[in-house]
Structure 1
Amino acid sequence: MDWLASHRATIDCYAMTVIFGNVHQPEFVYHGSSPLKSVKLSSTMKARTLISHGCQGFLASVMDTSLESPIIENLSIVREFANVFPDELL
């Protein structure tokens, strides 16, 4: 909370936003997202707007390596029609 207060952050839980205000810099708004929304489209559009206004952009690719690849025997529909799918997709 001390860090948020020192950066003049305003938290709006209902709108899922955190607004950082500073008299020496433009206002920065962090928008949270719910899993049901199209996160890729929203974040891409926001990034494009910010970059067009002179902001720096960074791209990160994150992959969860703890997840195992699905096994064909565990996929009910694919299991029934395994001969239809190319081996590269399985």
Structure 2
Amino acid sequence: MNVTSSFGDTIVVRKMYRRCPLMVQGHVFPVDMMELPFYGFDVILGMDWLVEHKARVDFETKRVSLRLSEDHEVIIVGENVKFLSNVVSALEAQKLLDVGCQAYLAYVMNPNMDEARPQDIRSVCDFLSVFPEELSGSPPDRDVEFVIENYFYSDPVSIAPYRMTPK
């Protein structure tokens, strides 16, 4: 089967999986999957699938609502939405402290959470072959010692790394 991408390229699809279970928030949605050589996407849902499941897409808030029944719907929220608008950067926090605002530091833990595994971290999953199952410990000590010697009454070298010619 040939598929045309949004860039106008034709891609040959060699594998298709029919009625695969797509689980979203505990609800199973059947979907026909095609294996595409695109990186950076987990799943691309087509217009026909979205219509079949009565999807409503809100582009402004990056939300997709899938209607299960008259009274129940599943809402999917995009990853890049700034729902943490109350989180400030370190620079903003420093400015607030400088003008006299109070600050509190909280260390939040989930006691029910199991031990963290590399497979649970999304960006690590892309590079699992790089991360070993068990870390052997700290890296070994090396015999090479790097030292920069400073001489008394010496000035740092101030030479441009390359010469810029005037235009």
Q: TM-score range by the shorter chain?
A: 0.3 to 0.5
Looking at both structures, which has the greater relative contact order when contacts are Cα pairs under 8 Å and sequence separation is at least 6?
1
**Rg larger in structure:** 2
Give the TM-score normalised by the residue count of structure 2. Answer: 0.24
Hey, which of these two has a bigger chunk of helix by percent?
A: 1
